[in-house]
Amino acid sequence: MAEQRRIGYNWNLRTVMAQRNLWKSTELMPLLKSRGVNLSESQVYRLVTGTPERIPARTFAALCDILDCEPNDLFEPYVEMRAAKTADAPKRPEDLGVKPGSPIARRVRIVPDDEDG
């Protein structure tokens, strides 16, 4: 049975920047520009303070060059959740407390009270 995995990741840009004595996102902007990556101030701020869902390869490579680090220093994947391909559900209805031939749900008829009119 194949296993399903949900993969998460840690984005360590802020930590790596601090290790290199870069404390502000504005300090990163001219360094990115000198490598041909033109991002607005707000884009750089979000890159530093948030966790990006996608990042262009050129930007990622520029960050590695600026910070003199490897890609796995910035991007650290991990397994969030593992699950079997199918759930380990009971095979027989009796195991759930359902008797064969008897319906699980019954039709209900709602009758208004005399006061509801």
**114 in a domain, yes or no?**
no
Domain count, the chain: 1
Q: Tell me how far CA of residue 62 lies from CA of 57, 89, 116, in angstroms.
A: 8, 49, 71
Any domain includes 103: no
Residue 11 lies in a domain: yes
- Alpha-carbon distance 85 to 63, whole Å? 38
Residue 59 lies in a domain: yes
pTM of the predicted model, to two decimals? 0.65
Q: Is residue 48 part of a domain?
A: yes
For residue 111, tell me if it sits in a domain: no
Q: Among 87, 104, 85, which residue's Cα sits nearest to residue 96?
A: 104
CATH number at residue 55: 1.10.260
Q: Please tell me the predicted confidence (pLDDT) of residue 33.
A: 96
Tokens coding 18: 């601090």
110 is a domain residue: no
The closest of 30, 6, 29, 17 to 81, measured between CA atoms, is 6
Digitized pLDDT (tens) for each residue of the chain, 117 residues in all = 566 778 889 999 999 999 999 999 999 999 999 999 999 999 999 999 999 999 999 999 999 999 999 999 999 988 877 666 555 666 666 666 666 666 666 667 788 887 755
Q: Which two tokens stand for residue 43?
A: 């884009």
Give the domain extent around 30. 3-84
d(CA 80, CA 17): 26
- Residue 100: inside a domain, yes or no? no
For residues 104 and 117, give the distance between their C-alpha atoms in angstroms, rounded to a whole number.
33
